[in-house]
Amino acid sequence: MKQAKKSFHAHGKLLLTAEYFVLDGALALALPAKLGQSLELEIGNWKLEIPALHWRSFDEKKQCWFEAKFELENFEILKNSDPAVAARLQKILREARNLNPDFLPSAKSQELTAKSQLDFPRLWGLGTSSTLIHLVAQWAEVDAFELQFRTFGGSGYDIACAGAAGPILYFLKNGKPHAEPCDFYPPFANQLYFIYLGQKQDSREGIARYRSAVDGRQLAVDSISALTREFLTVATLADFEKLIVEHENLVSKTIGLPRAKELYFSDFWGEIKSLGAWGGDFVMATSDRTTEETRQYFNEKGYEVFLPYETLIL
């Protein structure tokens, strides 16, 4: 029995600037993560009565958290361990074939096994879905942005991060994604940390709040874009913190939600920057004190996941 093997990889993501505003064309600074997701394929050439794709997904502990089998004619679900996840994956596979009709032709009567492997916990919000979209797009040889827009929607910055080699500037123009590498590695990177809040925020609710803020939104988009450019050139931690406060206050005013620092860390000596949907997964903290003292502060408040910049960011 002869088998061919293929493998692909995609990076996770964090959005440093322009959350929400990126949907309206604001310039965003996005950071690919060292952690991501990989996809390994084995393609057999034996004959089957029903050509099928056998899919298994593994978490960071190498435990299988999802399994399904799809027939290849129209990706009908033959069996699954989670109907909701199976339906989302089915939609991705079907849209991939719509974009490339030669993707997994059923006439070959073969069985394929696909194994996806996460480097990070699924609940962290680092891009379980966006990395999957990018992996399937590589496999199907289709445009990852188009596949994203046809399935999950969003701005697409996370798709740009999935295939990036480092920090990027990202924006939408006339609905089309634009990404370019940028030089973002501040001299105070060793004073930046990422803390997992573990409090899921409905991003659709946040977007709805943003969409309802009609007055002055375009002016805010321009202001956010200008702030993004300043984030690239700032030389000191103190000036970086001033930009964070300005950015946070602008977003807070627009969507009508308090800052994460006000909610959880009002006694913290540094600054707190929300990343992506407010109140959700990760925040970034700045600190002019030692890593040990900074870690202790967050640990004592019950936040155990504390990652230095260089540990997480590509």
Query: How is the chain split into domains, by residue range?
Result: 3-181, 189-312
Weakest mean pLDDT among 92-106, 154-168, 235-249: 92-106
The pLDDT confidence band at residue 28, using thresholds 50, 70 and 90, is very high
- Nearest CA to 115 among 62, 52, 51? 62
Contacts of 134 by beta carbon, 8 Å cutoff, 6+ apart: 10, 144, 159, 162, 163
Weakest mean pLDDT among 21-25, 93-97, 222-226, 251-255: 251-255
**Strand partners of residue 179:** 170
Mean pLDDT, residues 100-113: 76
Report whether 147 contacts 85 (CB < 8 A).
no
Average pLDDT value over all residues in the chain: 90
244: left (phi over 0), alpha (psi -120 to 50) or beta: alpha
User: How far is residue 160 from each of residues 121, 134, 248, measured CA to CA in Å?
Assistant: 21, 9, 24
pTM of the model: 0.92
Alpha carbons 85 and 136: distance in angstroms, whole number: 15
pLDDT at position 276 is 81
The pLDDT confidence band at residue 256, using thresholds 50, 70 and 90, is confident
Residue 247 pLDDT > 90:
yes
Report whether 146 contacts 99 (CB < 8 A).
yes
Strand bridging mode 77-80 / 192-196 = unpaired
Alpha carbons 149 and 166: distance in angstroms, whole number: 23
Residue 47 pLDDT > 90:
no
Residue 52 pLDDT > 90:
no
Report whether 142 contacts 21 (CB < 8 A).
no
- Within a 13 Å sphere around the CA of 237, how many CA atoms are in the beta-carbon half? 16
Alpha carbons 283 and 260: distance in angstroms, whole number: 8
103: left (phi over 0), alpha (psi -120 to 50) or beta: beta
Q: Which residue has the higher pLDDT, 217 or 57?
A: 57
- What percentage of the chain exceeds 70 in pLDDT? 89
Mean pLDDT, residues 207-211: 68
Amino acid at the residue 199: Q
Q: How many CB atoms lie within 10 A of CB 245?
A: 14
CA 17 to chain centre: 14
- What percentage of the chain exceeds 90 in pLDDT? 76
Report whether 136 contacts 147 (CB < 8 A).
yes
98-123 burial: b if 16+ Cβ within 10 Å, else e:
ebbeebbeeeeebbbbbbbbbbbbee
Weakest mean pLDDT among 84-88, 108-112, 281-285: 108-112
pLDDT at position 1 is 41
Residue 210 pLDDT > 80:
no
The pLDDT confidence band at residue 272, using thresholds 50, 70 and 90, is very high
**Strand partners of residue 283:** 195, 274
Domain 189-312 is classified in which CATH homologous superfamily? GHMP kinase, C-terminal domain (3.30.70.890)
Decide: residue 265, CB within 10 A, 0-12 exposed, 13-18 middle, 19+ buried: buried
CATH-assigned architecture of domain 3-181: 2-Layer Sandwich (3.30)
Report whether 71 contacts 52 (CB < 8 A).
yes
Residue 106 pLDDT > 70:
no
The pLDDT confidence band at residue 219, using thresholds 50, 70 and 90, is confident
Q: Which residue has the higher pLDDT, 256 or 7?
A: 7
- Within a 13 Å sphere around the CA of 33, how many CA atoms are in the beta-carbon half? 25
